[in-house]
Chains A and B, each alone.
Chain A
Amino acid sequence: MLLEQTLAQIKEKFPDPVLETTEFAGEQILHVKGQDILIVLATLKANGFNFLADLTAIDNLTLGGYERFAVSYHLLCHKTAERLTVKAYVPEEKPSLPSVESLWKTADWQEREVFDLFGIIFEGHPNLIRIMNPDDYEGHPLKKDYPRLGRKERGDFPVIDRGIQKQKPSK
């Protein structure tokens, strides 16, 4: 009930940011433009979807979609036990969208994870650094154009010099 009302209200209120709504396996999915995600989620939160269950991203390289990346937000309403997926589309050239950390603190670490693994920039995030990979890591592993079988041969990796190799054997 709440879900239908809210979706209708969102579509009416934001005709420009909302691209479409789809349904698959009984789940409603709201597709929106990335730059307008904050205002859409703030409205949804005010309407009762109080819990951000999950935040992740999908690389649409071969799947197809409005843009290259989709950031998906899984919202939950504790009162009516209804769930809604919101997908925000982000272009390849400028992969950035506003951070929702101001609405839910849980977005802090989850946005860091998406940044780490997909390279999507969240504007306004207080501390957008890598979380899973080391800070000096190059590349974003969950992108579809990142190879699954590793980047180089073992021998190409730099050898960490611990001072032991420097000692020449005495003759």
Chain B
Amino acid sequence: MKHVIDQPLETDRMVLNYGPHHPATHGTLRIIMELEGETVTKVTPEIGFLHSGFEKLGEDLNFNQYITITDRMNYLSPLCNNVAYALAAEKLMNLEVSKRTEYIRVLMCELSRIADHLLNVGMLAVDLGAMTAFLYGFRVREDIYDLFEKATGTRLTTSYTLVGGLMRDIPEGFEKAVLKVLDEVDKAANDIETLLNKNRIWHDRTKNIGIISKEDAISYGISGPMARASGIDWDIRVNEPYSSYQDFDFDVAIALNGDVFDRYLVRMEEIRQSIKICRQSLDKMPTGEVIIDPNLGLSLPPKDEVYNSIEGLIYHFEITMPHRGMTPPVGEAYVPTESPNGELGYYIVSDGKCTPYRVRTRPPSLINYSIFSKLIEGHMLSDAPAILGSLNIIAGELDR
């Protein structure tokens, strides 16, 4: 007599739909998985559910109006998008902004990086069943959003930069508030690391999962923390400094294995380095204007003048009316920046009119996501949320 248990378990190929509305996909993604038992054999990601034609829209809006669209791309770190777009437009128009503007931009970018990384690490932990780490991170992230509200007036759609400067200077007492929040962030990062770094379950779920080799990372165009977790020593802030990043002293976090755990470690270390950069930028904050001379005709006038003087109002209309305002020379500019997800670049082509001829975003989410099907094949189904969470996909930027 043959026991049933001795026979090999027969499994059929099963097709599983993951998304587009699934809590673990963080946005509208659809993944069609083919399973043998619990092992994923083939993955077909389908995207485009949030495609809103931002690039087409950019051809109709003038240079300052498009900044409001950049908020909606990576909605977890909108300030980085604002800064990246403003830098590209300024390169096209050959504008030089003041040192104070650059330092405030660095401060805001780093605060967004902290908020983005805290949320990413937290969501990864939630997807793997660790709620506490998420709550520690989310609470201080709330404080950072309060800072954004103080400085920009809004929490999410910040639109803080203008071409040629900033919408407004940082408010009084902002330095003190930032320093207080940074201390809280430091504590929260310690708490998260205490919970996860030596946690056996965390190690089992994240180590040797979704390994990206160095060659693959370059071939697939992976950038940012994901590339650095695979051992690529490349940080645009250090290697091609923009917006005065060369003035700051910080380390680049690198890991060698390229798995989910290493990506988590790199992100945690980047939070600490960002805290360092924020403190330095507050220490060395230069004085001066935060917008270039309005008489050049290349920037919006300060809001005080617009609201309180007739000349300012007339001038504001001159700049913002259709077919009037700032006109760059015919040409094109590509500016890469280091966003929390990776290389965020804006490529603007101008035909000499007051709206851009073509605005292209180099979306780190899309390009980092293209390796997903290769990573998941051969892993278990339960590893899918871990790998997806470690890629940090933002659907608004993925589909644009």
**Which residues of A does B touch, CB under 8 Å?**
24-25, 27, 29, 50-54, 56, 58-59, 62-63, 72, 74, 76, 78, 81, 83, 85, 104-106, 108-110, 113, 117, 130-134, 141-142, 146, 148
**CB < 8 Å neighbour of A54 from B47, B234, B357, B362:** B362
Number of interface residues, chain B, beta carbon within 8 A: 42
Chain A CB within 8 A of B289 CB:
no
Q: In the complex, are the beta carbons of B334 and A132 less than 8 A apart?
A: no
In Å, the complex CA distance between A146 and B57 comes to 12
Q: In the complex, are the beta carbons of A53 and B351 less than 8 A apart?
A: no
**CB < 8 Å neighbour of B351 from A62, A78, A131, A132:** A62
Q: In the complex, are the beta carbons of B221 and A25 less than 8 A apart?
A: no
CB distance from B366 to the nearest CB of A (A): 7
CB distance from A78 to the nearest CB of B (A): 6
Q: Which residues of B sit under 8 angstroms from A130, Cβ to Cβ?
A: 48
Q: In the complex, are the beta carbons of B239 and A81 less than 8 A apart?
A: yes
CB distance from B26 to the nearest CB of A (A): 19
Q: In the complex, are the beta carbons of B349 and A106 less than 8 A apart?
A: no
Q: Which residues of B sit under 8 angstroms from A105, Cβ to Cβ?
A: 216, 219-221, 370-371
Q: In the complex, are the beta carbons of B332 and A109 less than 8 A apart?
A: no
In Å, the complex CA distance between A141 and B55 comes to 10
Chain A CB within 8 A of B345 CB:
yes
CB distance from A152 to the nearest CB of B (A): 16
Q: In the complex, are the beta carbons of B366 and A25 less than 8 A apart?
A: no
Contact with A along B336-356 (1 / 0, CB 8 A): 100000010101010100000
Q: Which residues of A sit under 8 angstroms from B219, Cβ to Cβ?
A: 104-106
Q: Which residues of B sit under 8 angstroms from A53, Cβ to Cβ?
A: 221, 223, 336, 343, 345, 362
Q: Are A50 and B218 also in contact (CB < 8 A) when A24-B331, A25-B91, A110-B367 are?
A: yes
Q: Are A58 and B358 also in contact (CB < 8 A) when A51-B221, A105-B220 are?
A: yes
Q: Which residues of B sit under 8 angstroms from A148, Cβ to Cβ?
A: 56-57, 59-60
Q: Which residues of B sit under 8 angstroms from A27, Cβ to Cβ?
A: 332-334
Chain A CB within 8 A of B53 CB:
yes
Q: In the complex, are the beta carbons of A56 and B347 less than 8 A apart?
A: yes
Interface centre among A72, A106, A113 (most CB of B within 10 A): A106
Q: Which residues of B sit under 8 angstroms from A85, Cβ to Cβ?
A: 332, 334
Chain A CB within 8 A of B94 CB:
yes
**CB < 8 Å neighbour of A106 from B48, B220, B400:** B220
Q: In the complex, are the beta carbons of B221 and A131 less than 8 A apart?
A: no
Q: Which residues of B sit under 8 angstroms from A109, Cβ to Cβ?
A: 366-367, 370
Q: Which residues of A sit under 8 angstroms from B366, Cβ to Cβ?
A: 109-110, 113
In Å, the complex CA distance between A72 and B334 comes to 11
Given contacts A106-B367, A108-B370, 13 further A-B contacts (CB under 8 A): A25-B331, A29-B332, A53-B221, A53-B336, A54-B362, A62-B351, A85-B332, A104-B219, A105-B221, A109-B366, A109-B370, A110-B367, A132-B48
Q: In the complex, are the beta carbons of B51 and A54 less than 8 A apart?
A: no
Chain A CB within 8 A of B96 CB:
no
In Å, the complex CA distance between A53 and B368 comes to 11
Contact with A along B55-70 (1 / 0, CB 8 A): 1110110000000000
Contact with A along B365-380 (1 / 0, CB 8 A): 0110011000000000
Q: In the complex, are the beta carbons of A63 and B362 less than 8 A apart?
A: no
The residue on B at minimum CB distance from A59 is B358
Residues of chain B in range 227-269 having any CB-CB distance to chain A below 8 Å: 232, 234, 239-240
